[in-house]
């Protein structure tokens, strides 16, 4: 009897110990789990993450450079992204390299009634003129070279410099100079000489003004650190042929036929900007790009085509070249 009582007492004590014990809790929070596929932030020499572009984060800017324009640059309805990289002012210049010429982007082409012949002979080039810039409206779109336009890289568009090639652009109003890689065609407003990326214009200090008087000099590999030439070309590059046309500022009356529409705008100037850009991008397609006024809007049309069927057959080609899906109209 006594033995049974002792056994019952031991059983009760063991049960009490098991019910009052609890697993040991760690005093340290678990290590964060990295998102799958997300690389770690690069480290600076001091061991801190290097500044990177973070959408939604208010970016700091170099106080020595003008603030970015809120609505536009030279082109209406254009501008920078909502936020820009913290280190945009430190974006390195393009480094000239020996690259093969693009197979298609250096052929003679006709835009707005003018024929342009890109240089394929490796000639020196120096010219003064007006520089503008293009930003978020074309960010992510295809350039004449087929590359994707990145407004935060050092690139530019020129009517006749080889694609690809490199140019030193100097702001004659403040003496700042950058080197850009030419990978696009334009601008097709004759009063402008070169279109630069937002980053290049930012470094040259004319973002808020929209345009600036510049000197453009072709740079070859190994020459990027040499002193800029001081002798300007005797004659600026001019079109080799010109045909009569309606002034660029006037919208065409609504024509008959079948077309592909790239966009519609309430402001004629915005339609003309898209027309000028697409005229270069679609030059190899062989169809003119025009602004047509219909129902109170200014529309950018490509064509004409022989039939609705032929217009629809051209949609994949135009979509690939322009980076946007056109709408068949007639």
Structure tokens, 277: 């850009």
SS3 category, 111: strand
φ/ψ of 273, rounded to 5, equals -60, -50
Of 3.40.50.150, 3.40.30.10, 3.30.70.1070, 3.40.50.10800, which CATH number belongs to 258-329?
3.30.70.1070
> Is domain 88-242 in CATH 3.40.449.10, yes or no?
no
Residue 257's contacts (CB-CB under 8 Å, 6 or more residues apart) are 303, 304, 305, 330
Give the per-residue pLDDT at 247: 41
Q: Where are the domains of the chain?
A: 88-242, 258-329
Count of beta carbons in the 10 Å neighbourhood of residue 160: 19
Cross-strand pairs, 196: 133, 156
Q: Are 304 and 280 within 8 A, CB to CB?
A: no
Round to whole Å and give the CA distance between 307 and 13. Answer: 95
Whole-prediction pTM? 0.50
The reply to whether 88-242 and 258-329 are identical in fold is no
Burial of 146 (0-12, 13-18, 19+ CB in 10 A): middle
Count of beta carbons in the 10 Å neighbourhood of residue 277: 28
pLDDT tens, per residue, the chain with 330 residues: 555 555 555 555 555 444 444 444 444 433 333 332 333 333 333 333 333 333 333 333 334 333 333 333 444 445 555 667 778 888 999 999 999 999 899 999 988 888 999 999 888 999 999 999 887 767 778 888 889 888 899 999 999 999 999 999 999 999 999 999 999 999 988 889 999 999 999 999 998 888 999 999 999 988 765 444 433 333 344 444 444 443 444 555 667 789 999 888 878 887 888 888 888 888 888 889 999 998 888 889 998 899 999 999 999 888 888 877 888 887
Return the closest-CA partner of residue 159 out of 204, 209, 214, 114.
114
């Amino acid at each position: 009897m006594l033995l049974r009582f002792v056994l019952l007492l031991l059983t009760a004590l063991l049960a009490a110990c098991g019910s009052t014990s609890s697993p040991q809790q760690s005093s340290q929070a678990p290590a964060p789990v990295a998102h799958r596929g997300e690389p770690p932030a690069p480290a600076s020499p001091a061991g801190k993450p290097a500044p990177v572009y973070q959408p939604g984060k208010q970016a700091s800017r170099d106080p020595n450079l003008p603030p970015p324009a809120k609505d536009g640059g030279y082109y209406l309805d254009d501008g920078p992204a909502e936020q820009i990289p913290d280190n945009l002012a430190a974006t390195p210049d393009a480094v000239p390299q020996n690259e093969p010429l693009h197979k298609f982007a250096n052929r003679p082409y006709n835009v707005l009634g003018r024929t342009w012949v890109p240089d394929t002979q490796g000639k020196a080039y120096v010219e003064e003129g007006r520089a503008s810039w293009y930003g978020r409206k074309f960010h992510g779109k295809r350039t004449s070279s087929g590359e994707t336009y990145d407004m935060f890289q050092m690139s530019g568009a020129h009517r006749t410099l080889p694609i690809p090639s490199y140019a030193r652009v100097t702001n004659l109003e403040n003496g700042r100079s950058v080197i850009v890689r030419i990978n696009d065609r334009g601008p097709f407003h004759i009063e402008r000489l070169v279109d630069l990326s937002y980053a290049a214009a930012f470094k040259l200090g004319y973002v808020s003004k929209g345009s600036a008087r510049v000197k453009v000099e072709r740079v070859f590999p190994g020459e990027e650190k040499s002193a800029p030439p001081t002798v300007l070309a005797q004659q600026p590059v001019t079109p080799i042929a010109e045909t009569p046309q309606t002034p660029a500022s006037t919208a065409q009356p609504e024509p008959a036929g079948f077309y592909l529409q790239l966009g519609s705008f309430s402001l004629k100037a915005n339609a003309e900007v898209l027309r000028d850009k697409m005229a270069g991008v679609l030059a190899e397609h062989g169809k003119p790009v025009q602004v047509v006024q219909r129902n109170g809007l200014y529309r950018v049309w490509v064509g004409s085509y022989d039939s609705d069927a032929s217009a629809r057959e051209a949609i994949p080609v135009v979509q690939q070249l322009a980076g946007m899906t056109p709408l068949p109209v007639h």
